Structure 1
Amino acid sequence: MKSVLAETAGKIRSMEIRGAGKIAREAVFALKSHAESLDDQNSSAFITKMRSAGEVLLSTRPTAVSLPNAVNIVLSGMNGEDDTGEIRAGIVSRADDFIERSNSAVRKIGEIGARRISDGDTVLTHCNSQVAIGCILEAHRQGKDIEVFATEVRPRNQGLLTIKTLNDAGIKTNFIVDSAARYFMKNVDIVVIGTDAVTVNGSVVNKIGTSQIALAAHEARTRVMVAAETYKFAPKTLTGELIKIEERDNSEVLSPEIAEIMPNVTVRNPAFDITPAEYIDLIVTEEGAIPPEMAYIIIKDYLGWKIGDFDRDF
């Protein structure tokens, strides 16, 4: 039987577990379960095994900054001078606290973001972001008459999950192909998206196609609001580190049978792109709404990273 750690890592890698927030919560739960399963009495050995567990999780999705932030929060408090029981208890406590705060953040962001959606607005959303959808659902719960355009999100079709949620909530929804976003932008009042990472200059890394939608919105003078928990901000971009953009397997785009008869064709399948800060009007976090150029404040004041932390993963 697979351990919770191995099973979670496999599911994150295969995208059975998806969405930056859910990835972070599931990874933290896996670390907690792993800590509880280890019977090492030697504190150094215990810490080494927990750091190895963190590395296993970090290797699964290189772009989702929520993952290293979550691992850092849970494992950074390990102290070799403590006995194993104290270290384990600290990990369990930090993990439980992270999961609780993460779930609370989704609710708070929904409440704050809904204030920016007006009665009668038409909203466009891209991908399947729990926090972005939470803003739309909360606006609907408040009795605002809204309509949504949701993209299909090729090649993995996460938009199907989005339209199911919106449909079940009774929200009038239009399902469109990704390339139709510019065509319908003239009908849209606000774009509401999530993100996998926010850099120090306020640029956001989100599902491939987001930057094109933001560019179309900028041209059409349509507002763009990003919903992001604070643990999606990328501390290492303070020192100039670039976020690695993950490329997925070519089988997501072309079947192996078709690819085999086209030896001169290379499939490029980036999972994310970067949207410049100048195309974003507002970033909504559980701590409040900020303009993108103030992203550094979240990194400085809420994530607890120090300059000396940047040469390690956690």
Structure 2
Amino acid sequence: MVKKIVLSDVDSVVNDIKSMRVRGALNIAVTAAKSMKKLVKEGGVIETLQDAGQRLKSARPTAVSLPNSVDYILYLAEKNSHLGDEEFRKQLLDDIGRFIQEMENSLDEIAEIGSNIIRDDDVLLTHCNSDTVIEILKRAHSKGKKFTVYATETRPRMQGHITTGELLDAGIPVTLIVDSAACITMETKKVDKVLVGADTVCVDGDVVNKIGTSQVALCARKHGIDFIVAVESIKFSPQSMMGSIVKIEERNPDEVWRDRPSILGVYNPAFDITDASMVDIVVTELGIMPPEAVYQVVKEKFSWELRQ
């Protein structure tokens, strides 16, 4: 009975992630970890954790932070499996707690590092709604730096509305633009930097992010503008080192046009892939690096997974 009750809580988290009530790759990873921590508290054994992990990982196929979070907790469970029941539970709860704290701290660390690349009078452009980008901009603003931001609306779910709201609340000057105005905005508004988040970064430096990111990157390259990706290392993909192809999630056509003609097809990919050659630097909690450095970070940070 306990197992069923606990897993029903996991299913609720899965539904929240699928429906985007829980969104943002880091927030998804932390939420999944907290869900599994609750399982351990309520008596879940390794088999229960494995079952829950599979359900959680199915919720967002593109955001690698989710399987990274789940798989690391399963690794910790296996690592501690030789312990007695009570000692196992105590050790695993401590380990998961530290892991969650590290993920939550990474956002603050990126904000501090990333804020140093913002200069007075910078004109910035961002796409979608990224916690890392928002925190970098808020930190730079708190240091007294003066800059302006252009934010794409990011159809079809209009995450740019969230971005503009958060920046306005922080007192940061921001202007909303339609997605198709990104290129002309870079030219006419003299954009200095493009700053985006990411859902996944592959070992070759390719960046998986909200649909439209690759087009923004191409426009930035055309105009000689730095394209900067701010991302927690939990979003680096060890699976890509082993030849796994990132699955691009396709969402409900109703997001694009609910009352469309019945015979009209709609293609609604949620993400696209920006080639590493379009990326100038990657800002992480580990520091600022070129995209080609991701390979070495994955080898070191995810050695536990590469040995599986």
For the criterion TM > 0.5, the same-fold answer is yes
User: What residue is the counterpart of 1:21 in the other structure?
Assistant: 26
Secondary structure, aligned partner of 1:77: helix
Distance 1:285 1:113 in 2: 8
* Identical counterparts, % of pairs: 42
Distance 1:5 1:215 in 2: 40
User: What residue is the counterpart of 2:250 in the other structure?
Assistant: 247
**Out of 187, 191, 196, which is 1:188 matched to?**
191
User: What residue is the counterpart of 1:104 in the other structure?
Assistant: 105
Matches within 5 A, 1:256-271: 258-259=259-260, 261-263=261-263, 265-271=264-270
Matches within 5 A, 1:53-64: 53-64=52-63
User: What residue is the counterpart of 1:298 in the other structure?
Assistant: 297
Q: Write the letter of the residue equivalent to 1:200.
A: V
Secondary structure, aligned partner of 2:77: coil
What's the offset of the Cα at 1:24? 0.4
Deviation digits for residues 195-225 of structure 1, max 9, x if unmatched? 0000011010000000000000000000011
> Do 1:77 and 1:90's aligned partners in 2 also have CA atoms closer than 8 Å?
no
Matches within 5 A, 1:56-95: 56-79=55-78, 80-95=81-96
What's the offset of the Cα at 1:97? 1.2
Deviation digits for residues 12-49 of structure 1, max 9, x if unmatched? 011110000000000000001112123x6xxxxx2111
What's the offset of the Cα at 1:176? 0.6
> Do 2:238 and 2:305's aligned partners in 1 also have CA atoms closer than 8 Å?
no
2:202 counterpart of 1:199: yes
> Do 1:299 and 1:305's aligned partners in 2 also have CA atoms closer than 8 Å?
no
Deviates more, 1:75-84 or 1:270-279: 75-84
Alignment TM-score, normalising by the size of structure 1: 0.92
Deviation digits for residues 68-126 of structure 1, max 9, x if unmatched? 11112212022343223233223322221122111211111111111111111011111
> Do 1:225 and 1:283's aligned partners in 2 also have CA atoms closer than 8 Å?
yes
Deviation digits for residues 215-254 of structure 1, max 9, x if unmatched? 0000000001111111100001112211100000111112
Matches within 5 A, 1:271-290: 271-290=270-289
> Do 1:230 and 1:303's aligned partners in 2 also have CA atoms closer than 8 Å?
no
Distance 2:107 2:77 in 1: 28
> Do 1:123 and 1:190's aligned partners in 2 also have CA atoms closer than 8 Å?
yes
> Do 2:238 and 2:306's aligned partners in 1 also have CA atoms closer than 8 Å?
no
What's the offset of the Cα at 1:306? 4.7
What is the root-mean-square deviation in Å for CA atoms of aligned residues? 1.4
Deviation digits for residues 132-176 of structure 1, max 9, x if unmatched? 111111111111110000111111111111111100111110101
> Do 1:246 and 1:270's aligned partners in 2 also have CA atoms closer than 8 Å?
yes
User: What residue is the counterpart of 1:123 in the other structure?
Assistant: 124
Alignment TM-score, normalising by the size of structure 2: 0.93
Distance 1:91 1:153 in 2: 40
What's the offset of the Cα at 1:4? 3.0
Deviation digits for residues 247-302 of structure 1, max 9, x if unmatched? 001111121xx34x331x21110000000011111001101110001111110112
Distance 1:72 1:93 in 2: 17
User: What residue is the counterpart of 1:217 in the other structure?
Assistant: 220
Q: How many residues align?
A: 299
Q: Write the letter of the residue equivalent to 2:270.
A: A
Distance 2:236 2:222 in 1: 27
Distance 2:133 2:23 in 1: 15
> Do 1:78 and 1:90's aligned partners in 2 also have CA atoms closer than 8 Å?
no
Distance 1:148 1:78 in 2: 44
User: What residue is the counterpart of 2:147 in the other structure?
Assistant: 146
Q: Write the letter of the residue equivalent to 1:168.
A: D
Q: Write the letter of the residue equivalent to 1:237.
A: S
> Do 1:235 and 1:305's aligned partners in 2 also have CA atoms closer than 8 Å?
no
Stretches of structure 2 lacking an aligned partner (at least 5 in a row): none
